[in-house]
Amino acid sequence: MQKYSLAIHGGAGAILRSEMTPERELGYRSALLAALGAGEAVLRNGGGALSAVEAAVVALEDNELFNAGRGSVFTHDGTNEMDASIMCGEKLQAGAVAMVQGVRNPILLARRVMEASEHVFLCGAGALRFAQEHGLEEAPPEYFFSPFRFRQLEEARARGLVQLDHSRKYGTVGAVACDAHGNLAAATSTGGLTNKKYGRIGDSPIIGSGTYANNRTCAVSCTGHGEYFIQGVIAYDLSCLMEYKGMSLQEAADFVIHHKQQALGGDGGLIAVDARGNLALPFNSAGMYRAWVREGEEAGVGIYE
C-alpha cells in the first residue's frame, strides 16, 4: 500500500488577477476544493483511481463555473457539444465521447463506453444513442444555458473568433489520481471552444493528446488550445519521455508544456501524477485553475502562477 495523490484542473488560459473579483475568486477556489474533496473521499475510503477521477470530474461538470457539462460553452450554432475521455493506467483501457449533446455528465458516458462497449471512442448521435440505451441521465438545453456563456458566443460571433473560454471564465476540467495500490487514472471533460464550427473536436477526448494513463509512467489531463495538444500528442509524449528517456514526471511535464507546446505556439497546461504519487501541474498561460492533495498532507489550490 502507498499514499494516494489526486490533482484536478478547471482549465488554463488568460486568467488575469486584474479581471477577478474577490467573490469570484472565492467561488472558484471553493468549487475546486469541493471537487477535490469528492475525489479524495473515494481514495480515502479505499476506492480506486478510476472512481476518484470520475467523482472529481462529475463535481466539476455539475458546476456552471467550468466549461464542461452544465457550464459548457456554446458552438457557433448556439448548441452545446461536449467531449470527454477517461483512461485506466492499470489495464490501458480507455473510453471517449465527442460532440455529445444533452447528456448531463459526459465523463460517465466515457466510462460506460470503456466498460460496456467493444469500442473506445463514440461521437455525436451514436454516442447519445449509446447513452440512452445505457440509461445515462439526460438534461434539457435549459440545463446547459447560462447568460454569461451566451454573451461570450455573441461576442465571439461578432468578432469572428473561435476562442478558448478565455476572457473571464476559463474551462475544461480534468483529474488525475494515483491510488493506494499505485494504480493511475486520468479523466478530462470539456465544452470545447466558444463559437466552434463544423463538428470541431478538441484534444480532450483524444487518448494520447488530452488524456493518458499508464501505470508504468503517469496519468495526464491537459487543458488549453486543443489543436496544439493534438498536434503535439502531448499527454502520450509526456509518458514516452518518462518511459523511453527516463525523465522524471516533473522534467517530462515541464518539457512538453514549456518547450514543446510553447514552440508550437500553443498555450495551456496539464496535471500529471506518477505511480509513486508525485504530482506536476505546469502551465504556460497566465493561470490554471487547479487543486491537489497527497494523503496525509493539506490540500493545495491555485489559480495564477
Where does this chain bind ligand ASP (CB under 6 A)? 11, 164-165, 171-172, 190, 192-193, 202-204, 223-224, 226
For the bound state, the minimum distance from the C-beta of residue 222 to ligand ASP, rounded and expressed in Å, comes to 7
Helix axes 49-61, 22-44, angle to 10 degrees: 150
For the bound state, the minimum distance from the C-beta of residue 165 to ligand ASP, rounded and expressed in Å, comes to 6
Q: Which is nearer to ligand ASP, 60 or 275 (CB)?
A: 60
Q: Are 183 and 90 in contact (CB under 8 A)?
A: yes
Q: Which is nearer to ligand ASP, 47 or 71 (CB)?
A: 71
**Active site annotation includes 211:** no
Q: What angle do CA 11, 209, 153 make, to 5 degrees?
A: 45
| Sheet architecture: strand order including 218-224 | 211-213, 218-224, 268-274, 279-280
8: cell is: 484536478
- Of the candidates 172, 190, 194, 223, the residue annotated as catalytic is 172
Alpha carbons 17 and 222: distance in angstroms, whole number: 22
Alpha carbons 60 and 67: distance in angstroms, whole number: 9
Q: CA 160: distance to chain centroid?
A: 26
Alpha carbons 220 and 235: distance in angstroms, whole number: 6
Chain length of the chain: 305
For the bound state, the minimum distance from the C-beta of residue 118 to ligand ASP, rounded and expressed in Å, comes to 27
For the bound state, the minimum distance from the C-beta of residue 248 to ligand ASP, rounded and expressed in Å, comes to 25
Q: Which is nearer to ligand ASP, 39 or 224 (CB)?
A: 224
By DSSP bridging, strand 173-178 and strand 5-13 are antiparallel
For the bound state, the minimum distance from the C-beta of residue 181 to ligand ASP, rounded and expressed in Å, comes to 30
Known catalytic residues?
Answer: 172
